Chains A and B, each alone.
Chain A
Amino acid sequence: MSVLIFADQSEGHIKKAAFEALSYGAALAKNMNTTAIAVVLGPVSADGAAELGKYGVSKVLLAATDALAHLDGQAFAAAVAQAATQEGAQVVVFPHNPDGKAVAPRVAVRLKAGLVAGAIDLPDLSGGGFVVRKNVFSGKAFAYVSVTSPIKVISLNPNSFHVQAGDGKAEVVAFAPDAVAPRVKVTAVNKVSGEVPLSEAEIVVSGGRGLKGPENWGLVEDLAHVLGAATACSRPVADAHWRPHHEHVGQTGLTIRPNLYIAIGISGAIQHLAGVNGSKVIVVINKDPEAPFFKAADYGIVGDAFDVVPKFTAAVKELKGK
């Protein structure tokens, strides 16, 4: 009996989304009166693995092999399913990030487990049930999904559960999953270095067509820089190649749930809102008081971005300087 959490790594470091999944899995294990165990695949040090105890797991199964350095869905799914069986896991938790999306559905099939993809709350266990809330209709509604299989798989939406860090240390146990012939050969990894990944960012500064052209993005970048934020954009901005595609948020782009989303010169079309309306706090800067975005906003300034944003940046700088 246990809750097993897949804690994914990149270049030997456990990802932030995994810390959330670990905290979530530990809280769930507590509610189920069982233990939380993590499984780590890839070259992570034993010390690094023991650190995961901070998030409430008592044990870490560590397969610290270079063979699992990069994602191979079949090998990873086989290993996680093997760990789940070995530990008698009733629930397997993944981060709902790119690797989680690739592996969780496979593990669900292997374990004949129902999957809740993109959970945003802990399961409601009342009356012996297992009901988990997730976003549906691109953030426009929630579904309460009831899982009816004996084993359950959950992938946790990023920024949906607070990381709870204490000071425990986990017991690290070497884990040697049965070998699976690799099918995927990773030939290149291109990371935008020095920037906060959009999907993980707690603060996002986003620009739309109201900024007139790519030459004006310094405004967005300066504000993002002082806030330690990631940058995003509306779809027409990415389509016009003012900004790279991976910054496009909305119904047909990335869905994000930061703590703070600052929209500058974006009208707030329903397809745009679909990608950002899970944000905890939304600030809109738009010169048109009728812009639909104000209806979805918590704070707003009706004004010219070219005037307001530099002042915003300066005021944050002043605050942080104190």
Chain B
Amino acid sequence: MRILVCISKTPDTTAKIAFTDNNTKFAEAGVQFIINPYDEWYALVRAIELKEADPSSVIHLVTVGGADAEPVIRKALALGGDEAIRVNVDVADSFAVASQIAAVATAGGYDLVLTGKETIDYNGSAIGGMLAELLGMPYIALATKVDVAGGTATVTREIEGGEEVAEVALPVVISCQKGVAEQRIPNMKGIMSARTKPLKVVEPVAVEALTTVHHFELPPAKAGVKLVSPESVGELVRLLHEEAKVF
């Protein structure tokens, strides 16, 4: 089986969120970048598990981004995967990224394309679906379990208040979240071998973005917490009822 895992780079979960250039750019100075947790913990680790079960499988990683995305994709290679492809273009919007990945996926002929549920910076939850449409493949969003046997994927996905199990013939695009796999820590052997794994840089296809971020804004600071004594819990209930009017 040929597996493609889509890897994006995001600021560390504890990074300070601030903007520069008149609130049009994320302030990257001093920020540590990580592999988007959904891509790493769930999509990539599940791909590695599937390859452990069927060693004839091939795992390719793809990232769309400038040279500054390389440390993150190397880190992903340290966890697993046979080779990585970087599409050498800055991220414009979801459609542009999906179009770049679609070009890589078409060239590579994959049976299974895994993405994370969403990036923790843009929170689009969109690229997997766009990619699937561009490739003419089915797409299962928000998977919590992914099994593959005999050319069919059996996928459990989140629905409101529960789960749905579906069967779909390969090839398929699946977005992964908690449940699909368990986080792994790269070991020394993985880190060493990642240095020599191929990292191909390909040039982008021509595509126009359909959206742009006009500007960013930070939420207004909270007014401050109103503390109620544990002796007068009834007062809290009154405030929630009469002042906040939430029930």
Q: With an 8 A cutoff between CB atoms, is A187 at the interface? A: yes
Contact of A103 with B124 in the complex, beta carbons under 8 Å: no
Residues of B contacting A: mostly: mixed
Instruction: Write the chain A residue with the least CB distance to B121.
Output: A137
Comparing A25-33, A48-56, A57-65, A294-302, the segment that makes contact with chain B is A294-302
With contacts A105-B94, A281-B244 known, is A117 near B213, CB below 8 A? no
List the A side residues contacting B189 at CB < 8 Å: none
Q: With an 8 A cutoff between CB atoms, is B110 at the interface? A: no
List the B side residues contacting A106 at CB < 8 Å: 129-130, 132-133, 139
Q: 1/0 per residue A96-123: CB within 8 Å of B?
A: 1111011111101110111111100000
Q: 1/0 per residue B132-157: CB within 8 Å of A?
A: 11100011111010000000001001
- Whole-angstrom distance between the Cβ of B143 and the nearest chain A Cβ: 11
Q: With an 8 A cutoff between CB atoms, is A200 at the interface? A: yes
Contact of A146 with B213 in the complex, beta carbons under 8 Å: yes
Q: With an 8 A cutoff between CB atoms, is A253 at the interface? A: yes
Q: 1/0 per residue B184-222: CB within 8 Å of A?
A: 000000000000000000000000011111111111001
CA A308 to CA B236, docked complex, whole Å:
11
Contact of B241 with A319 in the complex, beta carbons under 8 Å: yes
Instruction: Write the chain A residue with the least CB distance to B161.
Output: A197
Q: CB within 8 Å of B: which of A72-129?
A: 72-74, 77, 96-99, 101-106, 108-110, 112-118
- Whole-angstrom distance between the Cβ of B247 and the nearest chain A Cβ: 6
Comparing A34-42, A166-174, A208-216, A309-317, the segment that makes contact with chain B is A309-317
Residues of A contacting B: mostly: mixed
With contacts A185-B168, A192-B162, A300-B225 known, is A308 near B138, CB below 8 A? no
Q: CB within 8 Å of A: which of B115-137?
A: 120-130, 132-134
With contacts A10-B159, A183-B169, A189-B159 known, is A73 near B179, CB below 8 A? no
Q: With an 8 A cutoff between CB atoms, is A303 at the interface? A: yes
- Whole-angstrom distance between the Cβ of A247 and the nearest chain B Cβ: 11
- Whole-angstrom distance between the Cβ of A50 and the nearest chain B Cβ: 24
Question: Would you list 18 pairs from A and B whose C-beta atoms are within 8 A, ordered by A residue?
Answer: A72-B138, A73-B132, A104-B126, A105-B129, A115-B126, A115-B210, A137-B120, A141-B216, A146-B214, A183-B138, A183-B169, A185-B168, A248-B178, A260-B240, A281-B246, A298-B222, A312-B236, A319-B241
Closest 7 CB pairs of A and B: A105-B129, A197-B161, A303-B230, A114-B210, A191-B162, A109-B133, A311-B233
Interface set of B (CB-CB < 8 Å, partner A):
11, 13-14, 17, 19, 37-38, 41, 93-95, 98, 120-130, 132-134, 138-142, 144, 154, 157-169, 178-179, 209-219, 222-223, 225-230, 233-234, 236-241, 244, 246-247
Question: Given A137-B11, A187-B165, 5 other A-B contacts at CB below 8 A?
Answer: A115-B124, A141-B219, A199-B160, A251-B13, A260-B246
